[in-house]
Amino acid sequence: MIDSSTRTRLDQHVIAAQARLYRAVAGGTFEITSQWARGFSGLQIPTFNIFLPLGHEGLTDESLADTSAFFFSRETVYAIELVHDRFPHGPDYLNERRYQPLPPQPAMFIAAPPQNVQLNPAVIVERVSTVPGLTALCALLHAVYDFPLADLIKLYSAAHLRDDLKNIIRHYLAFIDDKPVGVGTIICVNGAASVWNVCTLDEYRRQGVARTLMQRMLQDGAASDCALTMLYATPLAYHLFNKMGFDLFAQRQWFLPPELSYEEE
């Protein structure tokens, strides 16, 4: 179980982390009120433009209409990001309004880096500190997730290497035989950390790449007084994180607005 003070720290951290990410994008914004937060990146991926209800007035027909108008005026697709235990009625509320749910993601946390983790000595983890490193990071994310490469380059821009951001948004590459095979990001802010987009190329899975990469990021976070760490897990990665000592504390889910249309492949 997570105590209330830890939960509050993580809730505050993840908003601050998202704000840093969105505001680092050229033209990006992240607004925060007492009732909602809204991130605009301008990228053509719904989950990279989000509306996050925080209070009761953040999830109403009026707020949803305002959100639709905001993103429509910018010709940008978007998603509603819902934390289930903050709004137990939220999924039904959005389903009734024909929002399309994506699979829920467990929110997990760990208080400190785990001990006695079995690492792969063949995996070399390096922190990204150059533009070519960012390019390799984007290429690997594109290969794994099939996100548009141009959008990834805009999201993970050279701004992340600036002095005011490089110790907050930290990217890492994992290599085997000098080939980048894994990637991950940790954001350290407000005395906590969050891990984002940990992935491994298909042919290198089940070789301890993600585990070795995770351990390096967690240790670096702890060394910066950000030992408390959270992440959003996919079903595929849940077992790995649970085995490393992460505990479940919440669940988030994205909902796509009904005005979005999709072509069948």
Each residue's pLDDT expressed in tens, for the chain with a length of 265 residues: 799 999 999 999 999 999 999 999 999 999 999 999 999 999 988 999 999 999 999 999 999 999 999 999 999 999 999 999 999 999 999 999 999 999 999 999 999 999 989 999 999 999 999 999 999 999 999 999 998 999 999 999 999 999 999 999 999 999 999 999 999 999 999 999 999 999 999 999 999 999 999 999 999 999 999 999 999 998 888 999 999 999 999 999 999 999 765 444 3
The Cα–Cα gap between 66 and 192 comes to 32
**CB–CB of 169/185 below 8 Å?**
yes
The Cα–Cα gap between 170 and 186 comes to 5
For 46-58, letters b (16+ CB in 10 Å) and e give bebbbbbbbeeeb
57: left (phi over 0), alpha (psi -120 to 50) or beta: alpha
The enclosing H or E element of 131 equals helix 131-145
Residue 188: half-sphere exposure toward Cβ, Cα within 13 Å? 20
Domains of the chain: 4-105+252-256 (3.40.630), 124-227 (3.40.630.30)
Locate the DSSP E strands across the chain: 29-32, 36-40, 50-53, 79-83, 100-101, 105-110, 124-127, 169-176, 179-189, 192-200, 229-232, 247-256
Among 245, 232, 263, smallest CA distance to 47 is for 232
Q: What are phi and psi of 140, to 5 degrees?
A: -70, -40
State the pLDDT at residue 236. Answer: 82
Among 42, 71, 56, smallest CA distance to 256 is for 71
State the pLDDT at residue 260. Answer: 60
State the pLDDT at residue 259. Answer: 72
- Single-letter amino acid code for the residue at 27: G
**CB–CB of 42/27 below 8 Å?**
yes
What is the CA 253 to chain-centroid distance, rounded? 12
State the pLDDT at residue 21. Answer: 96
51: left (phi over 0), alpha (psi -120 to 50) or beta: beta
